[in-house]
Amino acid sequence: MRIFKEKQAFTQSWLIILIVLSAVVPIGIITNEFLKENSTIGFKEFSLIVLLILVSIVPVFFFKLKTRIDEIGIHYQFFPFHLSFKTILWKEIKKVETRKYDAVSEFGGWGLKGGLFWKKKNGVAYNVKGDMGIQLELTNGKKILIGTQKQKDVIFVLKSHTSENNEMVS
């Protein structure tokens, strides 16, 4: 049986630059204020503000999307939201296809998106980069999109695992 595995992370240069700037600018402003002679900001406050800025930014570098397709089904894990793989069995999948999507207009961006806070009809998306994904329509009516950077490999493996119970569109 064929197995597909993929691991993705937020490694885009533009994103790293944006994150670094979004930390450096406020830290620079607060440092400038702290170093003034008559500063109203004490060391405790300064340290707490810098720590809060870093704590809010650093976790992005730990986000990972892992995907596995095998004879059991499609497995995905979006760490740190999922501490273990979530499995969708083949019998739970009504339709599966790879498709191009617009992360911003369809799901509100990259990451864990959709559902309660965006267009519910599009379902939920787990993505970290790009515009290609594995679109799943489940037998219970739910829709899930899992981003991929390896569309050709996904299509190849999906064809080997889908049966007459599942629709497969490349």
pLDDT of residue 116: 61
132 domain-assigned: no
Average pLDDT over residues 21-50: 91
Evaluate whether residue 119 is within a structural domain.
Answer: no
Per the structure, the complete domain to which residue 22 belongs is given by 10-61
Q: What confidence category does residue 168 fall into, taking pLDDT thresholds of 50, 70 and 90?
A: low
Q: Are 93 and 136 a contacting pair, CB within 8 Å?
A: yes
Q: Is residue 19 part of a domain?
A: yes
| pTM of the model as a whole | 0.75
- Residue 25 pLDDT greater than 50, yes or no: yes
pLDDT at residue 147, as a whole number = 94
Q: How far apart are CA 85 and CA 65, in angstroms?
A: 10
Sequence-separated (6 or more) residues with CB below 8 Å from residue 49: 26, 30, 41
Q: Is residue 49 part of a domain?
A: yes
Residue 134, pLDDT > 90, answer: yes
CA 60 to chain centre: 10
pLDDT (mean) for 25-35: 92
Statement: residue 164 has pLDDT above 50: no
User: Is 8 in contact with 147 (CB distance < 8 Å)?
Assistant: yes
Question: Is residue 24 in some structural domain?
Answer: yes
Q: What is the mean pLDDT of the chain?
A: 86
- Residue 118: predicted pLDDT: 57
The count of domains in the chain is 1
In a domain, 14, yes or no: yes
**18 in a structural domain:** yes
- Is there a domain that residue 48 lies in? yes
* 8 Å CB contact between 30 and 46: yes
